[in-house]
């Protein structure tokens, strides 16, 4: 490559981005200078708190599913909505599966109670 061609390429690079002309000129990778190297260490107490929060969400979810299932056998007008409300709390805390099951079972029991109640009176 002769000097004239190199000067033409330098002028093109100047038109592209004059601030990084020397980086492009040397054909070096500059991602190491662009990417921040500070890594934020994780705090072990955050992980413990997250695990304890997950355990409490699981316990509330189990209570919700027990309320919803038991509403099929006794007091559906009380336990059905209670299971659905506790299931909603479980759902908002991040335990989606138990929350949805509790809501569906509780509301199903509650609706079935009011549909079947006139048949037995």
Average pLDDT over residues 79-108: 94
Higher pLDDT, 18 or 51: 51
Which of helix, strand or coil describes residue 94? coil
Name the residue ranges covered by the structural domains of the chain: 3-34, 46-120
pLDDT (tens digit, 9 = 90+) per residue, 59-87? 999 999 999 999 999 999 999 999 999 99
Q: What pLDDT is stored for residue 55 in this prediction? A: 77
> Pick the residue with more confidence: 97 or 45?
97
Q: Per-residue pLDDT tens for 4-40? A: 766 666 665 555 555 555 555 555 555 555 555 565 5
pLDDT greater at residue 12 or residue 94: 94
Residue range 114-120: mean pLDDT, rounded? 88
Determine if the pTM surpasses 0.85: no
In this prediction, residue 41 carries a pLDDT of 58
């Amino acid at each position: 490559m002769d000097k004239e061609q190199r000067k033409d390429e330098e002028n093109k690079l100047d038109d592209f981005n004059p601030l990084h002309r020397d980086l492009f000129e040397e054909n070096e990778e500059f991602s190491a200078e662009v990417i921040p190297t500070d890594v934020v260490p994780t705090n072990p107490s955050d992980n413990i708190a997250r695990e304890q929060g997950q355990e409490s969400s699981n316990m509330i979810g189990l209570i919700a599913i027990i309320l919803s299932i038991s509403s099929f056998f006794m007091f559906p007008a009380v336990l059905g909505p209670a299971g659905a409300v506790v299931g909603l709390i479980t759902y908002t805390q991040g335990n989606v599966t138990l929350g949805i099951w509790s809501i569906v079972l509780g509301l199903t029991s509650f609706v079935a109670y009011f549909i079947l109640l006139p048949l037995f009176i």
